[in-house]
């Protein structure tokens, strides 16, 4: 019996506005409207929701890299969609289905060109950021009579000094990669054109680690901000305790003793 196959895509059919590709434990998500500098639409938000759900459920995937096609990360909300009454958000999940609900696994933003408005806020929702040295960042909403309500006013003050958040949000100006890195918003600045490559290298280092440990580590870092100080270690123990009893923990210790690469099972 021959295996069923998917018919080839009609070459005249427009490609999806968000692409997803699996690469050895890494999911590469590409915002794919280069003709509009990857301005986000309602369609893109719904596609992102499905992709992120699949990412969370797939045990073979450890980390995702989010990037944009055509040399731009994301220029924010598509204003043509906005005036038609459509929003690039999913209820309870936020802009591009990401800004209000963190993914359970790490996501790395690979930024070339512009990450502005909702694009900048989407970057803030990622856990790590690799940026090209000529990338530009900003929250220009006030220049359009809008407000940065997808994370610019909530997430940014928790990620950067108050003065930085105020300047970015109130002026609406553009800032370079060196500025946002100095503010603690970017992990690595790399030559133009190499952000995705550098992000994939970073992702590979994460994907090589124990998957249970990686997920739990992210969970604690995300959740601890809301814990009372006198309960922090007890709450942490509730989450991390099972990891120390896992098969992966035993495998990690055994592999170290035997001087070999661990063989993770995720259990």
Q: Is 69 found in the same domain as 118?
A: yes
Last residue within a domain, chosen from 167, 192, 207: 207
Are residues 182 and 251 located together in one domain of the fold?
no
In a domain, 8, yes or no: no
User: Per-residue DSSP letters for 193-211?
Assistant: T-HHHHHHHHHHHHHTS-H
Alpha-carbon gap, residue 20 to 23, rounded angstroms: 10
At residue 198, φ and ψ (nearest 5 deg) are -70, -35
Residue 60 contacts by C-beta under 8 Å, 6 or more apart in sequence?
Answer: 22, 25
Pairing assessment for the beta strands 26-31 and 63-68 based on DSSP bridges: parallel
Q: What is the pLDDT of residue 83?
A: 82
**How much is the pLDDT for 80?**
86
pTM reported for the whole predicted model: 0.91
Is the same domain home to 125 and 72? yes
Residue 10 located in a structural domain: no
Residue 137 belongs to domain spanning? 18-207
Q: Which pair of structure tokens corresponds to residue 88?
A: 């690039």
In a domain, 3, yes or no: no
User: What was the pLDDT predicted at 179?
Assistant: 96
CATH number of the CATH domain containing 157: 3.90.226.10
Q: Report yes or no on 262 lying in a domain.
A: no
Tell me the two tokens of residue 63.
């980390």
Strand partners, 67: 30
Same domain flag for 23 and 107: yes
Q: Is residue 11 domain-resident?
A: no
pLDDT of residue 209: 94
Active site residues: 121, 141
Q: Which is nearest to 108 in space by CA: 40, 199, 212?
A: 199
Specify if 266 maps to a domain: no
**Shared domain check, 240 and 176:** no
Tally of structural domains, the chain: 2
Residue 23 contacts residue 200 (beta carbons within 8 Å): yes
Q: 160 vs 76, 124, 175, 212, 233, CA distance in Å?
A: 20, 10, 14, 29, 25
Residue 65 and residue 119 share a domain:
yes
Whether the Cβ atoms of residue 122 and residue 74 lie closer than 8 Å to each other: yes
Task: Give the ranges where 14-72 is alpha helix by DSSP (H).
Answer: 42-57
Residue 95, phi then psi, degrees to nearest 5: -60, 130
CATH, residue 246: 1.10.12
pLDDT at 98: 96
Residue 13 lies in a domain: no
Per-residue pLDDT of the chain (267 residues; tens, 9 = 90+): 344 344 455 556 778 999 999 998 999 999 999 999 999 999 999 999 999 999 999 999 999 999 999 999 999 999 888 888 889 999 999 999 999 998 999 999 999 999 999 999 999 999 999 999 999 999 999 998 999 999 999 999 999 999 999 999 999 999 999 999 999 999 999 999 999 999 999 999 999 999 999 999 999 999 998 899 999 999 999 999 999 999 999 989 999 999 998 999 888
Residue 123, token pair as written in the block: 């970057």
């Amino acid at each position: 019996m021959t295996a069923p196959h998917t018919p080839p895509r009609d070459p005249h059919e427009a490609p999806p506005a968000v692409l997803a590709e699996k690469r050895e434990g890494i999911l590469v998500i590409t915002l794919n409207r280069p003709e509009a500098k990857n301005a986000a639409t309602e369609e893109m938000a719904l596609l992102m929701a499905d992709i992120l759900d699949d990412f969370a459920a797939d045990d073979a995937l450890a980390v995702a890299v989010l990037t944009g096609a055509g040399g731009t990360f994301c220029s924010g909300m598509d204003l043509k969609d906005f005036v038609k009454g459509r929003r690039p958000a999913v209820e309870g999940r936020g802009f591009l289905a990401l800004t209000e609900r963190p993914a359970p696994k790490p996501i790395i933003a690979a930024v070339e060109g512009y990450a502005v408005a909702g694009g900048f806020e989407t970057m803030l929702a990622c856990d790590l950021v690799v940026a090209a040295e000529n990338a530009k960042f900003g929250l220009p909403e006030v220049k359009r009579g809008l407000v940065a309500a997808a994370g610019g006013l909530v997430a940014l003050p928790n990620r950067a000094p108050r003065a930085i958040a105020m300047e970015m949000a109130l002026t609406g100006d553009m800032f370079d990669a060196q500025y946002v890195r100095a503010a603690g918003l970017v992990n690595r600045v790399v030559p133009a054109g190499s952000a995705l490559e550098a992000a994939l290298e970073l992702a590979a280092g994460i994907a090589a680690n124990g998957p249970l440990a990686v997920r739990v580590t992210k969970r604690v870092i995300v959740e601890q901000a809301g814990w009372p100080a006198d309960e922090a270690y007890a709450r942490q123990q509730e989450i991390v305790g099972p990891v120390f009893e896992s098969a992966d923990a035993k495998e990690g210790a055994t592999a170290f003793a035997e001087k070999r690469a661990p063989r993770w099972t995720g259990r």
